[in-house]
Amino acid sequence: MKFSVLTLFPEMFDILKTSIIGRAVEKELIEIETINIRDFSKNKHKKVDDTPYGGGAGMVMMPEVVYDAYKSIKTENAKVIYLSPQGKVLNQEKVKELSKEKHIILLCRTL
């Protein structure tokens, strides 16, 4: 099973090289890759933030940058999961369902 993590902070996932998950990677039971969304910015400063339409506070990621990062790793049968507090709760039933996937792409939101 392959996990691809799209994130602005790939160094946060270095922890996955340790413990049980690290041993699974060493035994080639799973593969974990992190993709820095900033690498797909066309801006010389690697800017990925944009202002929200309609004004208001906060920032949003430029959709083109996220899409380009996604296209770079997309495989035919990849399952894409957008990680968000508003999403469904990850429970054992969902984990069993996801364990049948060959490639899972995790899109991390930033605050």
Check residue 54 and give its pLDDT.
76
Mean pLDDT of 9-16: 93
Which one, of 93, 94, 80, lies nearest residue 2 by Cα? 80
> Domain boundaries in the chain?
2-108
Residue 87: pLDDT band with limits 50, 70, 90: confident
Question: Which of 13-17, 31-35, 100-104 has the least mean pLDDT?
Answer: 13-17
- Tokens standing for 59? 């920032």
Mean pLDDT estimate for the chain: 91
> Which one of 3.40.630.30, 3.40.1280.10, 3.30.360.10, 3.90.1150.10 gives the CATH number of domain 2-108?
3.40.1280.10
**In this structure, how many other beta carbons lie within 10 angstroms of the beta carbon of residue 6?**
23
The fraction of the chain above a pLDDT of 90, given in percent, is 70
> Would you say 107 and 70 are in contact if contact means Cβ atoms under 8 Å apart?
yes
38-61 tens-digit pLDDT:
999 998 888 898 877 777 777 788
